[in-house]
């Protein structure tokens, strides 16, 4: 049981380049989430998918798009990277989009945009 | 919008000393969760509190949810070097159940 996996672990982009961050979970969870973490700011929700086939914006969606490819996989795309998107990106999942369910986080992707 | 604030931002203690971090919300929370993130790692769920005035213990860690459900605390007794990391509280966003608002975290450093 790998839990939540993310690829790549590290990435350096130039301004204007695009890339997709991959996330997969093997816990049969219905809900998946993308967060970004900046120093001193905690975690902020970018997008989430309450269940397969649905996606919704979070707190900071601008500059990002997501795809819930199937129940296991939820990807985050940066179409035209900007230095302000330099951050650590965490994917998380939980059993269902319910109040009391626990979120399980992946190891993160450390992204630098030059 | 809802804000979740944590204090202090950073604390440096000697091993064996106690540590407390406080979490305050601008709105009443239905529940609050605590996470720990080791340096270079990812957040790991510690505990969830639901009831007003609830107190839960995990070995040396004591978690409390305020009577008004707007504040919470995490207290560590006799810190160890394994306690090093950043502790986050998180509560459901006031616009619905689906997303969590995370506090900015308290970074704990333990000097051996």
Q: What is the pLDDT along chain B (112 residues), one digit of tens a residue?
A: 678 899 999 999 999 999 999 999 988 988 999 999 999 999 999 999 999 999 999 999 999 999 999 999 999 999 999 999 999 999 887 655 567 888 999 999 999 9
What are the CA-CA distances from residue A81 to residues A20, A49, A78, A112 (Å)? 11, 22, 6, 10
H-assigned helices in chain B:
none
User: Distance between CA atoms of A49 and A51, rounded to whole angstroms?
Assistant: 5
pLDDT score of A41: 75
Least confident stretch, A54-68, A87-101, B41-55 = A87-101
Which of A33, A42, A54, A101 to substitute to test the interface with B, most B CBs within 10 Å? A42
Q: Which residues of A touch B48 (CB under 8 A)?
A: 100, 102
Beta carbons of B42 and A107 less than 8 Å apart: yes
**Spatial separation of the C-alpha atoms in residues A44 and A50, rounded to whole Å:** 17
**Cβ–Cβ below 8 Å for A43 and B43:** yes
Taking contacts as CB-CB distances below 8 angstroms, the residues of chain A near B43 are: 43, 90, 103, 105
Q: How far apart are CA B91 and CA B17, in angstroms?
A: 28
The shortest C-alpha distance from B77 to chain A (Å) reads 24
**Chain mean pLDDT for chain A:** 93
Best A27, A32, A43 residue to mutate vs chain B (most B CBs within 10 Å): A43
Q: When comparing pLDDT for A41 and A80, which is higher?
A: A80
Neighbours of B18 (CB within 10 A): 11
Cα three-residue angle A113-A42-B21, rounded to 5 degrees? 150
Chain A residues with beta carbon closer than 8 angstroms to that of B4: 42
* pLDDT band, very low/low/confident/very high, at A14 (cuts 50, 70, 90): very high
Cα–Cα nearest to A92, from A42, A38, A49:
A49
Please list, in sequence order, all residues whose beta carbon lies within 8 angstroms of the beta carbon of residue B96, skipping any fewer than 6 positions away.
none
The verdict on B77 touching A (C-beta cutoff 8 Å) is no
Asked if the Cβ–Cβ distance from B42 to A90 is below 8 Å, we say yes
Contact A99 B92 (CB under 8 A): yes
* Distances, alpha carbon A25 to alpha carbons A32, A45, A102, in Å: 9, 18, 14
């Amino acid at each position: 049981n790998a839990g939540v996996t993310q690829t790549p672990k590290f990435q350096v982009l130039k301004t204007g380049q695009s890339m997709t961050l991959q996330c997969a979970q093997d816990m049969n969870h219905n809900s998946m989430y993308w967060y970004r973490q900046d120093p001193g700011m905690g975690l902020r929700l970018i997008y989430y998918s309450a269940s397969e086939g649905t996606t919704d914006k979070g707190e900071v969606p601008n500059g990002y798009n997501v795809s819930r490819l199937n129940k296991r996989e939820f990807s985050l795309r940066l179409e035209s990277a900007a230095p302000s998107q330099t951050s650590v990106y965490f994917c998380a999942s939980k059993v269902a989009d319910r109040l009391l369910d626990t979120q399980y986080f992946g190891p993160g992707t450390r992204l630098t945009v030059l | 919008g809802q804000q979740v604030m944590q204090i202090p931002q950073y604390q440096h203690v000697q091993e064996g000393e106690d540590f407390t971090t406080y979490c305050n919300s601008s709105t009443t929370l239905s529940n609050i969760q605590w996470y720990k993130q080791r340096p270079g790692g990812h957040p790991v769920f510690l505990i969830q509190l639901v009831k007003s005035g609830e107190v839960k213990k995990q070995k040396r860690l004591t978690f409390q949810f305020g009577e008004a459900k707007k504040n919470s605390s995490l207290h560590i007794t006799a810190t160890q070097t394994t306690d090093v990391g950043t502790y986050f509280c998180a509560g459901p966003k006031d616009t619905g159940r689906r997303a969590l608002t995370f506090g900015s975290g308290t970074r704990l450093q333990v000097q051996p």
